[in-house]
Amino acid sequence: MSASMAQTLRGWFGKHSEAEASVLPVRLGGYGSSNTVAGVKGFDQPLFWVVAALLLWGLVMVYSASVAMPDNPRFANYAHTHFLTRHLFSIVMAFAAALIAFQVPLKVWEKAAPWLFILSLVLLILVLMPFIGKGVNGARRWISLGVMNFQPSELAKFAMLLYAADYMVRKMDVKERFFRAVIPMGIAVAVVGLLLLAEPDMGGFLVIAVIAMGILFLGGVNARMFFLIAAILVVIFGLIIATSEWRRERIFAYLDPWNDKYALGKGYQLSHSLIAIGRGEIFGVGLGGSVEKLHWLPEAHTDFLLAVIGEEFGLVGVVTLIGMFLWLTRRMMHIGRQAIALDNVFAGLVAQGVGIWMGFQAFINMGVNLGALPTKGLTLPLMSYGGSAILVNLVAIAVVLRVDYENRQLMHGGRV
């Protein structure tokens, strides 16, 4: 190693030796930031501002997609700004919760992981009980808290992520043994899955299963084990669909949404989503110019927000949004790899797990809106209307920012 190279590394990594510095994956102070947080240089400003941009864009699009809803007799008592103000309130409340979450060290999250998982199970049971759980459109997924309707499945995603990361850290010594390493985690996922299917919420179950699988893989589970588990999950989801008539109908509607049998039924949302995106062409019809949101496309402000974005901002808007989520996912995975390189395995798995969660759910939502995947009740992270999702998403991202903050402390020779 040349003298100049050694000097450069010492400048990057402070008190660390050259051997330690050579394995750390990023430059100290990272990402060109020079701000100070509690005496440690910088925090991940690009990640913060991309999340802020997605939240702001989502707020604008929720208003655009819902502004005409009071013209529908079903929402006649609502103001035109009803969904905008509620969504803005959710963002403010979620931001306050995220600020608190950022102050919590990862060691505390690690200790709390099993208890948070148990809490999520209790809430998933409560939501199924009469007079506690609230049903909408045939699904019983919410608990009314007065100021908002809380969806326990959103908390379950975060709780499963923390529990899986904690489990892999505790089971590192047996990760090559299938029954001792995988079966307990499989049981935990199965219990959550059964409770979610009782709501029913197959989309939430799918996301949780992918989060758990991703953390098992990143935690170093044997490749043969991983692919065996993946095959088992594919069979399980196939059987769930095959044994449910309305789920089979949804698959058939996805395959041929223009069929007379499905066009006004289970293929209605998909066909109008495709019409909206088709109308947008390259540059869109302009903000507020969507026609499909005028009582043609159901749930335009929640599950099908991307269709309104496609109509009003065109291909350019959709590609920009896809690029932002790709960047977001890659950034979180990078922060996770950095934490693992610093021997903070739990923090690294949590950050990467959040990246898998956000990236996979965005992929599913976009695939549904674009007609590439069957319709599922999954929102677009950080953007779709929904207080529970926004709250838990921002708390999870705050934890990732905390991981990055602790990474910087370690690279400065401090402790976490």
pLDDT value for 335: 96
pLDDT tier at 368, thresholds 50, 70, 90: very high
In a domain, 366, yes or no: yes
Q: What is the pLDDT of residues 327-367, one digit of tens each?
A: 999 999 999 999 999 999 999 999 999 999 999 999 999 99
Q: Could you report the per-residue pLDDT of 269-292, keeping only the tens digit for each?
A: 888 899 999 999 999 999 999 999
Return mean pLDDT, the chain. Answer: 84
Q: Is residue 36 part of a domain?
A: no
In a domain, 310, yes or no: yes
**Type of residue numbered 26:** V
**Residue 177 DSSP label:** S
Q: Provide the pLDDT for residue 415.
A: 67
- Rounded CA-CA distance 19/33 in Å is 25
Show the domain range for 282.
44-411
Compute how many other C-beta atoms are within 10 angstroms of the C-beta atom of residue 387.
22
Q: Is residue 31 part of a domain?
A: no
The pLDDT, as a whole number, for residue 23 is 42
What would you report as the CA-atom Rg of the chain, rounded to the nearest whole angstrom?
Answer: 22
386 within domain boundaries: yes
> What is the per-residue pLDDT across 96-144, written as a single tens digit (0 to 9) for each?
999 999 999 999 999 999 999 999 999 999 998 888 877 776 678 888 8
Residue 374 has a pLDDT of 86
- In DSSP terms, 149 is beta-bridged to 144
Q: Which two tokens stand for residue 49?
A: 């501002």
State how far the Cα of 347 lies from the Cα of 411, in Å rounded to an integer: 15
Compute the distance between CA of residue 53 and CA of residue 328 in angstroms, rounded to an integer: 11
For residue 302, what are its two tokens?
Answer: 């929640």
- Whether the predicted pLDDT of 176 surpasses 70: no
Strand, coil or helix: 232: helix
HSE-up of 277 (CA within 13 Å, CB side)? Answer: 21
56 Cβ contact partners less than 8 Å away, ≥ 6 residues apart: none
Task: Choose between 335 and 231: higher pLDDT.
Answer: 335
Number of structural domains the chain divides into = 1
| Spatial separation of the C-alpha atoms in residues 290 and 71, rounded to whole Å | 15
The Cβ-side half-sphere exposure at 323, using a 13 Å CA radius, reads: 6
User: Looking at the domain assignment, is residue 14 inside a domain?
Assistant: no
Cβ neighbors of 340 (< 8 A, separation 6 or more) are 348, 349
Residue 19 placed within a domain: no
Is residue 178 very low, low, confident or very high in pLDDT (cuts 50, 70, 90)?
low
Give CA–CA dist 58/393, Å, rounded: 13
d(Cα 217, Cα 226) in Å, to the nearest integer? 7
State both tokens at 9: 């590394």
Tokens representing 51?
Answer: 């999340």
Residue 179 counted as domain residue: yes
Q: What is the pLDDT of residue 376?
A: 80
Q: How far apart are CA 181 and CA 184, in angstroms?
A: 7
Q: Which two tokens stand for residue 82?
A: 């009803």
- Asked if residues 328 and 50 have their Cβ atoms less than 8 Å apart, the reply is yes
